[in-house]
Chains A and B, each alone.
Chain A
Amino acid sequence: MNLKLRIWRQQNSGSNGELVEYRVSDISPEMSFLEMLDTLNEQLNAAGTEPIAFDHDCREGICGMCGVMINGQPHGPQLGTATCQLHMRKFSDGDTIVIEPWRARAFGVIKDLIVDRSPFDTIVEAGGFITVPTGSAPDANLIPVPRDAAESAMDAAACIGCGACVAACPNSAAQLFTAAKVAHLGLLPQGQPERYSRVEAMVDTMEEFFGSCTNHGECEKACPKSISIDFIAQLNRDYLKAKMLNSKLAGQR
Chain B
Amino acid sequence: MNLDAKVPPGPLADKWDGHRAAINLVAPTNKRKFSVIVVGTGLAGASAAATLAELGYHVKAYTYHDSARRAHSIAAQGGINAAKNYRGDGDSTYRLFYDTVKGGDYRSREANVYRLAQVSTEIIDQCVAQGVPFAREYGGLLDNRSFGGVQVSRTFYARGQTGQQLLLGAYQALSRQVGLGNVELHTRSEMLDVVQVDGRAVGIVTRDLVTGEIESHSAHAVVLATGGYANVYFLSTMARKSNVTAIWRAHRKGAAFANPSFTQIHPTCIPASDDFQSKLTLMSESLRNDGRIWVPQEPGDRRAAGDIPESERDYYLERIYPAFGNLVPRDVASRAAERMMEENRGVGPLQNGVFLDFADSIKRLGEDTIRQRYGNLFEMYERITDENPYEVPMRIYPAPHYTMGGLWVDYNLMTTTPGLYAIGEANFSDHGANRLGASALMQGLADGYFVLPYTIGDYLAGWLGSDAVTTDHPAFAQAETDVKERTNELLSIGGTRSVDWFHRELGKIMIEQCGMARSRQGLEKALSEIPALHEEFRTDVRVLGDDESLNFSLEKAGRVADYFELAELMCRDALDREESSGGHFRVEHQTPEGEALRNDEDWAMVSAWEWQGRGTPQKRHTEKLVFENIELKQRSYK
Contact = CB atoms under 8 A, between A and B. Distances in A.
Nearest to B164: A62
A252 interface: no
Contacts of A81: 383
A244 interface: no
Interface in A1-16: 11-12
A171 B142 CA distance: 41
A102 to B, nearest CB: 12
Interface string B374-399: 00000110011010000000000000
Given A32-B278, A126-B179, A128-B172, A63 B239 contact: yes
Contacts of B137: 147
Contacts of B135: 150
Interface residues of B, number: 81
Interface string B587-622: 000000000000000000000000000000000000
Contacts of A134: 47, 50-51, 54, 126, 173, 449-450, 453
Given A30-B273, A51-B544, A59-B240, A150 B134 contact: yes
B544 A143 contact: no
B140 A63 contact: no
A188 interface: yes
A65 B71 CA distance: 10
Interface string B39-64: 00000000100110010000000000
A144 B276 contact: no
Given A53-B552, A137-B125, A157-B165, A190 B274 contact: no
B88 interface: no
A29 to B, nearest CB: 9
A249 interface: no
A130 to B, nearest CB: 5
Contacts of A141: 84, 86, 141-142
Interface in B126-179: 126-131, 133-142, 158-159, 161, 164-165, 168, 171-173, 175-176, 178-179
Contacts of B127: 140
B276 A111 contact: no
Contacts, number: 216
A130 B70 contact: no
B273 A121 contact: no
A239 interface: no
B13 interface: no
A59 B278 contact: yes
Interface string A188-210: 10110000000000000000000
Contact of B72 (A51, A58, A130, A138): A58
Contact of B380 (A31, A85, A139): A85
Interface residues of A, number: 78
Nearest to B546: A50
Interface string A101-130: 000000000110010111011001110111
Contacts of A11: 549
Contact of A60 (B71, B281, B549): B281
A158 B140 CA distance: 20
Contact of B129 (A57, A59, A60, A137): A137
A63 B278 CA distance: 16
A114 B552 CA distance: 12
Given A85-B383, A135-B122, A129 B66 contact: no
B72 A57 contact: yes
A214 interface: no
B487 interface: no
Interface in B266-291: 273-274, 276-279, 281-282
Contact of A51 (B179, B241, B552): B552
B498 A42 contact: yes
Given A42-B498, A157-B133, A129 B549 contact: no
Contact of A38 (B67, B278, B281): B278
Given A53-B552, A87-B384, A125 B67 contact: no
A61 B239 CA distance: 11
A45 B542 contact: yes
B550 interface: yes
A38 B276 contact: yes
A151 B72 CA distance: 24
B72 A38 contact: no
Nearest to A116: B66
Contacts of A117: 66-67
Given A11-B549, A62-B161, A121 B131 contact: no
Interface in B511-546: 542, 544-545
Contact of A12 (B126, B496, B549): B549
B68 interface: yes
B188 to A, nearest CB: 8
B32 interface: no
B386 A57 contact: no
Given A57-B72, A60-B75, A135-B122, A154 B158 contact: yes
Nearest to A56: B240
Given A62-B161, A136-B129, 9 more contacts: A30-B273, A55-B66, A63-B72, A140-B134, A144-B139, A146-B140, A154-B133, A158-B164, A160-B164
10 contacts: A45-B542, A57-B70, A57-B240, A58-B72, A125-B179, A129-B173, A134-B51, A147-B140, A153-B133, A190-B130
Q: Which 9 A-B pairs have the closest CB atoms?
A: A144-B140, A125-B179, A137-B129, A129-B172, A137-B125, A154-B133, A140-B128, A134-B51, A57-B239
Interface of A: 11-12, 28, 30-32, 34-35, 38-39, 42, 45-46, 48-51, 53, 55-65, 78, 80-81, 85, 87, 89, 110-111, 114, 116-118, 120-121, 124-126, 128-141, 143-147, 150-151, 153-154, 157-158, 160-161, 184-185, 188, 190-191
